């Protein structure tokens, strides 16, 4: 998250002083028209108090007119107030609403709208009570419909967002979006609302109606609300029955995906308007889930949007099961905040913000690890969210984040209870020293465990995943004309056991520690060998070559080994009683769990499937079985899942999990298999752009979450749907395809 200095955006009245306007008796001949002309827009109402000079009611209006942000309701109400002094014998208080389009209503043989002022029900000659005046202002300070018309001297004022979505509005909001060139074009506005008049008058005080022009000046607000984005519609109505989740009305929990009491009408003809509101009165309208994708092209094949969710998921063929992968493109961060504008919208990454301009201070959030301060990564990106308490998943581990202020916080592992300090460091500044950093308290049991744990052989970067370390380490190089190379996922790279060039003896095995893993190396001859990770059992080829000599054809590693040619040799086996062989055997057992056992003379391999995918890869090369004693020869500690970052805090590009790409690859696998294609469908929904009603999915996701909707009717799908935890915890192509047997079983059961 970046620190920011937040300033109130000056819109409309914000450019005018928050004080009581006073109109003296000498201005009586001029009248009040100049005050109406200069202050009616863009709110559609003003308050006029006829008072005596320095009377108690005059002083009360001065107090209410000069409101500050501490009085949140009146501040957001943005009500221009004037004291008309010594014009009338008796003191009174009125709200005058915009009387616009009177001639048009007269042509339709209807009386003008909002023609008569609203008078405060106070007793003549009595002092007004502040509490009663405040309540009266908040109830009547909205026009029946707030048109968008030019203000003083033809000026176009911004839409009064705070008035409708701030604390001043205790009801709902009805936004009539109209496609016009500018607000001088009043005809489309009147045509859009003419048939809504009886319903707007019936709902007055409960729903505040306003027109919003579909122009570039309102685009940012419409994008933040995710409504009014379809430019092909000349007019539409979006009705918020209440403002749950908007502004300061933040929902409890992290499973809020948009206001569920939001409705939409795209045909504003008389018949459609009447049918819409009758259904609204009866509580029969379906929820309108808003989407940013409505402004662009139709969703691609395999992608979901809010407006296609019901059709693709709940209304799908009864024999079709559906997997939906929910993900957040912006992770926990707030995209609107990063652009410098934060709007009163919740339920998305722009949740619980106010309309403010943000002067950002460049910098980054750091987390204190054993090796020192490092960039704090949540999901796949450095943290850019707001300083609010939240939880996130990293692999199978859940973390709780709490902030003490805008620049300090803690991240707690909910499995171990270990807490790590967080801090924000501005660009160009150094992180806190060890003496300055305040270490969060740890449970006594956690402290004892930490003290009893043996020290790593390699202290530097001891928590760094080794494959990342090998791929990014380049501080040393081989001297002379020969060098040792190791086969990694990205290709052949210099082999640096113990983070230094190898210049040892090849007549005996080598064992060393790098990062948080132990490795065992066995040499076939003076120039060839294999390295085995004693924790994971992963095997990699190593080779000694003359500098400048062409490297061997890359074959990949582990079970993903792809021979460069038909004659490619298999990886040499480690000695039968070695720790390397035990680790390799353990890996083979893990990889073949749940499949039929192989022959007694060969390692377990995946059994043949009833209907394998067309692009299925060959089974892994067989490895000899070993005795139970050999399996237990090495005690393998479980590797903790820490963020994969380099010393600079950046995730190497080739190491970043391409999660959406992994899902697309699995979608392709399913489409290529006829039996699966007929029974299973895989879809993806970007919930940072699309609202939805799925309460099984958190609103903030650090990694994708997969939900399965089994075959059946819409009611059966809703009742039997469930989260696919195994697929969600390790969101890669290979891990997703590991649950293929379960898909196939579900598909067969649905026949």
What are phi and psi for residue 67, nearest 5 degrees? Answer: -75, 155
229-253 pLDDT tens trace: 998 899 999 999 988 767 666 665 6
- Is the pLDDT confidence value at 611 over 70? no
What pLDDT, on a 0 to 100 scale, did the predictor assign at position 227? Answer: 92
Residues in the chain: 751
**Mean pLDDT for the stretch of residues 517-543:** 89
Kind and range of the H or E element at 452?
helix 444-452
pLDDT of residue 613 exceeding 80, the answer is no
Using an 8 Å Cβ cutoff, are 145 and 210 in contact?
yes
pLDDT given for residue 435 in this prediction: 52
Q: What is the pLDDT at residue 748?
A: 57
Count, in order, helices (H) and strands (E) of the chain. Answer: 22, 32
Chain-wide mean pLDDT for the chain? 75
Read off the tokens for 372.
């020192």
Q: What is the pLDDT of residues 29-40, one digit of tens each?
A: 889 988 998 888
Share of the chain above pLDDT 70, in %: 71
Min mean pLDDT across 136-140, 448-452, 633-637 is at: 448-452
Burial class (CB in 10 A: 0-12, 13-18, 19+), 154: exposed
DSSP category for residue 499 = G
Q: What is the mean pLDDT of residues 162-172?
A: 90
Q: In the prediction, which pLDDT does 548 show? A: 80
**pLDDT exceeds 70 at position 197:** yes
What pLDDT, on the 0 to 100 scale, is given for residue 253? 62
- Contact predicate 619/605, CB 8 Å: yes
pLDDT at 321 over 50: yes
Least confidently predicted of 146-160, 353-367, 573-587, 678-692: 353-367
> What tokens were used for 414?
């909910």
Quick: pLDDT tens for 580-596: 888 888 888 776 644 34
Query: Could you tell me which residues come within 8 angstroms of residue 374 by beta carbon, excluding any fewer than 6 positions away?
Result: 366, 367, 643, 645, 647, 649
Q: Choose between 285 and 475: higher pLDDT.
A: 285
- What is the predicted pLDDT for the residue at 117? 93
Q: How many CB atoms lie within 10 A of CB 213?
A: 22
- Per-residue pLDDT band for 335 (boundaries 50, 70, 90) equals very low
The confidence score (pLDDT) of residue 665 equals 78
Which pLDDT score is estimated for 731?
67
Secondary structure in 3-state letters for 490-521: CEEEECCHHHCCCCCCCCCCEEEEECCEEEEE
pLDDT digits (tens, 9 = 90+) for 702-743: 778 889 998 899 999 999 998 888 777 766 666 666 665 666
pTM score, two decimals?
0.58
* pLDDT tens per residue across span 636-650: 443 333 344 444 444
Q: Classify the C-alpha dihedral 192-194-195-201 as positive or negative.
A: positive
Taken in order of first residue, the domains within the chain and their CATH numbers are: 11-141 (3.40.30.10), 466-591 (no CATH)
End-to-end CA distance of the chain: 50
Is residue 693's pLDDT more than 50? Answer: yes
Q: Is the pLDDT of residue 619 over 60?
A: no
Question: Is pLDDT of 537 > 70?
Answer: yes
> How far is residue 111's CA from residue 104's CA, in Å, rounded to a whole number?
10
- How does pLDDT run across 304-316, given as a tens digit for each residue? 999 999 999 999 9
Whether the Cβ atoms of residue 340 and residue 2 lie closer than 8 Å to each other: no
Query: Quick one: which of 208, 207, 173, 213 has its CA closest to 192?
Result: 213
pLDDT recorded at residue 379? 66
What is the mean pLDDT of the segment spanning 496-511? 85
pLDDT class for 624, splitting at 50, 70, 90? very low
pLDDT of residue 119: 94
The pLDDT value given to residue 252: 58
Say how far apart CA 170 and CA 509 lie, in whole Å: 76
3-state secondary structure (DSSP) of residue 274:
helix
Asked which of 405-419, 436-450, 589-603 is least confident by mean pLDDT, the reply is 436-450
Residue 422 bridge partners (DSSP): 367, 409
Burial letters 646-678, b for 16+ CB under 10 A, else e: beebebeeebebebbebbbbbbebbeebeebee
Longest dimension (CA), the chain: 113
- Residue 337 clears pLDDT 50, i.e. is over it: no
């Amino acid at each position: 998250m970046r620190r920011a200095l937040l300033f109130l955006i000056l819109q409309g009245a914000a450019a005018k002083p928050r004080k009581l306007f006073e109109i003296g008796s000498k201005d009586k001949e001029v009248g009040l028209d100049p005050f109406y002309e200069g202050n009616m827009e863009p709110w559609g109402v003003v308050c006029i108090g006829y008072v005596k000079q320095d009377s108690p009611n005059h002083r009360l209006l001065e107090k209410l007119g000069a409101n500050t942000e501490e009085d949140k309701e009146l501040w957001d109400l943005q009500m221009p107030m004037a004291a008309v002094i010594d014009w009338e014998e008796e003191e009174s208080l009125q709200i005058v609403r915009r009387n616009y389009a009177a001639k048009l209503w007269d042509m339709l043989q209807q009386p003008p709208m909002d023609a008569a002022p609203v008078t405060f029900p106070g007793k003549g000659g009595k002092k007004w009570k502040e509490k009663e005046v405040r309540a009266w202002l908040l109830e009547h300070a909205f026009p029946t419909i707030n048109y968008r018309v030019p203000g003083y001297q033809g000026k176009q004022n911004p839409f009064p967002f705070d008035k409708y979505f701030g604390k001043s509005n205790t009801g709902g909001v009805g936004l009539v979006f109209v496609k016009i060139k500018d607000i001088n074009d009043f005809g489309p506005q009147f045509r859009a609302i003419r048939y809504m008049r009886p319903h707007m008058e019936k709902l007055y005080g409960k729903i505040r109606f306003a027109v919003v022009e579909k122009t570039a000046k309102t685009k940012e607000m419409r994008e933040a609300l995710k409504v009014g984005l379809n430019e092909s519609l000349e007019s539409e109505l979006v009705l918020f029955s209440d403002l749950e989740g908007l502004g300061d009305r933040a929902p409890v929990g992290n499973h809020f995906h948009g206001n569920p009491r939001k409705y939409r009408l795209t045909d504003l003809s008389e018949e459609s308007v009447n049918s819409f509101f009758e259904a609204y009165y009866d509580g029969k309208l379906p929820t309108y889930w808003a989407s940013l994708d409505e402004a662009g092209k139709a969703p691609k094949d395999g992608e979901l949007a809010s407006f296609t969710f019901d059709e693709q998921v709940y209304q799908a063929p009864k024999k079709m099961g559906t997997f939906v992968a929910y993900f957040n493109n912006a992770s926990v961060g707030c995209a609107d905040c990063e652009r410098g504008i934060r709007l009163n919208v919740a339920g998305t990454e722009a949740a619980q913000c106010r309309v403010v301009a943000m002067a950002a201070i460049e910098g980054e959030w750091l987390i204190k690890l054993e090796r020192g301060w490092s960039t704090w990564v949540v999901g796949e990106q450095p943290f850019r969210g707001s300083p609010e308490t939240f939880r996130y998943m990293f692999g199978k581990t859940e973390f709780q984040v709490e902030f003490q202020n805008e620049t300090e916080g803690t991240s707690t592992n909910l499995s171990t209870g270990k807490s790590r300090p967080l801090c924000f460091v501005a660009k160009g500044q150094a992180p806190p020293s060890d003496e300055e950093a305040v270490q969060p308290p740890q449970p006594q049991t956690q402290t004892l465990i930490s003290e009893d744990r043996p020290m790593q052989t390699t202290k530097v970067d001891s928590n760094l995943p080794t494959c990342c370390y090998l791929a990014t380490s380049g501080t040393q190089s081989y001297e002379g004309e020969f060098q040792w190379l190791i086969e990694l996922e990205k290709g052949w790279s210099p082999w640096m056991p113990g983070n230094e060039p190898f210049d040892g003896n090849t007549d005996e095995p080598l064992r060393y520690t790098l990062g948080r893993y132990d490795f065992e190396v066995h040499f076939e001859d003076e120039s060839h060998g294999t390295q085995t990770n004693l924790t994971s059992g992963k095997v990699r080829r190593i080779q000694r070559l003359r500098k400048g000599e062409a490297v061997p054809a890359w074959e990949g590693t582990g079970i993903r080994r792809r021979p460069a040619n038909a004659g490619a040799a298999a990886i040499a086996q480690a000695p039968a009683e070695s720790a390397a062989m035990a680790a390799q055997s353990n890996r083979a057992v893990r990889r073949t769990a749940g499949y039929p056992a192989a022959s007694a003379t060969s390692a377990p391999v995946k059994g043949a499937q009833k209907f394998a995918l067309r692009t299925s890869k060959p089974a892994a090369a067989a490895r000899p079985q070993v005795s139970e004693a050999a399996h237990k020869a090495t005690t393998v500690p479980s590797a903790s899942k820490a963020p994969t970052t380099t010393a600079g805090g950046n995730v190497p590009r080739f190491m970043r999990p391409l999660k959406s790409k992994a899902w697309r690859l699995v979608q392709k696998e399913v489409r290529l298999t006829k039996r699966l294609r007929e029974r299973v469908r895989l879809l993806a929904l970007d919930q940072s752009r699309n609202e939805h009603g799925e309460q099984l999915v958190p609103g903030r996701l650090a990694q994708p979450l997969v939900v399965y909707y089994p075959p059946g009717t819409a009611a059966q799908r809703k009742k039997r749907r469930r989260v696919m935890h195994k697929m969600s915890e390790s969101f890669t192509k290979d891990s997703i395809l590991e649950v293929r047997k379960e898909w196939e079983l579900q598909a067969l059961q649905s026949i």
